[in-house]
Structure 1
Amino acid sequence: MGIVLITGATAGFGQACAITYAGKGYDVIITGRRKERLEALQTQLTQEFGINVLALNFDVRKEEEVKAVLGTIPEDWRKIDILVNNAGLAAGLSTIDEGSTDDWDAMIDTNVKGLLYVSRTVIPWMRSRTMGHIINIGSTAAKLVYAKGNVYCATKAAVDAISQGMRIDLLPYRIKVTAIHPGAAETEFSMVRFKGDEDKAKEVYKGFIPLTAQDVADVVYYCTSLPPHVCINDLVMTPLQQANAYYIDKK
C-alpha cells in the first residue's frame, strides 16, 4: 500500500492511526518519546498485521534529535506517502498573567516547532517523488479562542496557518496538505493538561459523548483514501453535542 509516518504514536490519535493504517496494509513509521510504549506498539503491529514497522524513539521538540534519528533512516523508508503530524499537547489551563512559561514552551516547542522540524525533514523526500500527503492535526481551538486557552489556542492557530502555507508552497509538487481539527476527544489529552489529575480530566467529558481516538483515525484515513485529484484542505470534526471549542451542551 505504501508508507505512513505518524508522530506521537504511543497513545491517543497517533496510536489509533498507526493501528488503522497497519490494518489497511501500510508499512508504518512510528515515533514517540516513550520507548517502552513504542516498542510494544511495534510488536503489536508486526504480529497482528504482518507489516513492516520502523520505531523511532526521539523528541520532536529537539531539532538535532529529529535530524539525527529521522533524518538518517534507510533510503527505502524515505518513500513516505503519508505524514501524520500528530504529536502535540495542552499543558495547563491558566489566564495569561498566571500561565507557566514552562507550559508555554512545551506547547510551542511540540505543537509548532516539532511539526516544523519533522515536516522540514520529510518534505524533500516527498518533493523528489512529486507526491505525498501531509496531515496536520490541529484542534477546534485553532478556530475559536476560549478562556484560559490562550497559548494552546495560539499554537493550534499556528498549525492552521502553517497548513495553509504548506499547501501553497507544495502546490507545484502535487503534495496534498490536510488540516484536521478535532473537538473534544477522550484520550490522554486532559490527563496531560491537568498534570495527571484524573478527577479533573474525567470532569471535562461528563454530560456528553466525546470523540474517540478511533473516530479521529477513521477521518484521517478517509482523507488519505480519496482519488489522487481530490484533497480535503481543512476539516473540523466534533462530537454531536459540541458546536465549537467553547459551546458544549452537557446534559
Structure 2
Amino acid sequence: MTAIDLNADLGEGFGRWRLTDDERLLSVVSSANVACGFHAGDAATMRRVCELAAARGVTIGAQVSYRDLAGFGRRAMDVPPAELAAEVAYQIGALEVFARAAGARVAYVKPHGALYNRVVHDEEQAAAVVDGVLLAGGALPVLGLPGSRVLDLAAKAGLPAVTEAFADRAYTDRGTLVPRGSEGAVVTDPEAVVERSVSLARSGVVAAHSGARIEVRARSLCLHGDTPGAVELARRVRERLTAAGVRVEAFA
C-alpha cells in the first residue's frame, strides 16, 4: 500500500491572535509544522500546540523561518550564514523544550515561506539551514522541495532528506512553486486540491500551471492551515486518499 504523510503549518498565531485551527487540524494530519516564533507563534502557542499534538500522536516538526513577524516570514531577506545557522538552531531548541515537556520531541525541520523558497536554489543559505540543524543536535530530517539544494546538502551532511509536495500550490514546469504574488499561485478549488492530492500520492504526477504534467515525487503532502475551510478540506483529502488505497502516516 502506498503511504504518505499529511503535514500542516500550525501554531501560526501570536498572543490572542490565531490564524490556524490547530486543534481540529491535529485530528486530521499526521505531522505538525509548528511555528517557532520567528514568522509566527510565541511561547504559549508553541506549548499549547505541542501538548495537543502529543495527545493525538501527531509528529512534531520545527518550522523555522527568517526573523520576520511583520511579514509572516514571506519577505526576501539576506541574513549572514553564521547568523542564520544560529537562528535556525535557536528556533529548534525553543520548540524542543515544549515538545519534551509534552512527552514528545521535535522529529524534523521544515523551513517556512521565503526561507523555504530561497534554499531551493541558494547554496549559501541552504548550507546555513543545514548547519543550524546540526548545531541543534541530533540527525533531524529536513523537509523540503524535491531537487532543492537544502535537501542535497542535508543528505551530504548525514541528515535524512524528505521530499514534500503541495496540493494547493501551483507548480512551474521545472517543479518549483509559482511565487505567491503571481496569478493562480494558490489552487482554491477544493475538488481540484483533493484530486491533486491523490495524484501526487499515487503517481507522483501533478498538473503544472502551464497545464503540463510534471513529476513531483514526495513522501509528505502539505495542507496549508491558513486556507479558508482548511479543516474540512484536510478531512476530504484524507478521506479520498484512504479510499484510493493510500495509507496516511508520518514519515518521522
TM > 0.5 fold call: no
TM-score computed with the length of structure 1 as normaliser: 0.40
User: TM-score, normalised to structure 2's length?
Assistant: 0.40
Q: Using CA pairs under 8 Å that are at least 6 residues apart, name the structure with larger relative contact order, 1 or 2.
A: 2
Higher strand share: 2
Higher helix share: 1
Structure number with larger C-alpha Rg: 1
